[in-house]
Amino acid sequence: MHQRIRSIIAATATAALLVGGTVATAGTSGAIFTTNVDGSWVNGNVYGSAGDVYLNGGPRANQGCSAAGLPDDDYYFQVTDPSGKELLSGYGPENGTIRVRGGMIVEYFEGSHDTGVGRCATLTTPNPTVKLSPFGPTPNPGGEYKVWMTPVGSYACDGSGCGGSFGFFSSSSKTDNFKVQPPDGGDGD
């Protein structure tokens, strides 16, 4: 009898660990993209200046407005070098908060970045794009950057320091790399 109870307890504990592991590694679905001010050039990846780069949560061109959309939540964003080791912008709440509903960015608040009007805006549903600059120059010789977006609840910074890449973890964040061409059109050297 005791052996059977131990077997049931062991099976229950194993199931609980499996369920917990699945939840912990699920990550954030959807995607983010860089774009221009009006959202008409999605995932262009190469921009003429830092001021030309805006963020949206999708969709790609010729797809529905919530295609590849992020889950409904509030998010923080940051800009780093491609490896995520050097922070080039403010981070966490310093950049403000982006609200996603129905797979689209619908609000940007508590921040000082400029916004544009995305291609999916209607009279009843706003769809702002969020300007990523100001951010510093990348140490990457090809002019490459990485933008991160993470749910506010997954952000990990407190008075004692930050976890992950300045409070953002790959497992719960979405990223998109982009390039800014140097003013002379060179390769960044």
- At 60 the pLDDT is 59
pLDDT truncated to tens, each residue of the chain (189 aa)?
444 433 433 333 333 333 333 223 346 788 888 999 988 887 778 999 999 999 986 655 667 776 778 899 999 999 999 999 999 999 889 999 999 998 889 999 999 999 998 888 887 888 899 999 999 999 999 999 999 999 999 999 887 789 999 999 999 999 999 999 876 544 444
Q: Which residue has the tokens 């409070």?
A: 167
Q: Which of 28, 23, 16, 19 is closest to 154 using CA atoms?
A: 28
- At 15 the pLDDT is 36
- At 39 the pLDDT is 84
- At 184 the pLDDT is 54
Backbone angles phi, psi at 18, to 5 degrees: -65, -45
- At 31 the pLDDT is 86
pTM of the model: 0.79
- At 74 the pLDDT is 97
Distance of CA 48 to the CA centre of its chain: 22
- At 52 the pLDDT is 95
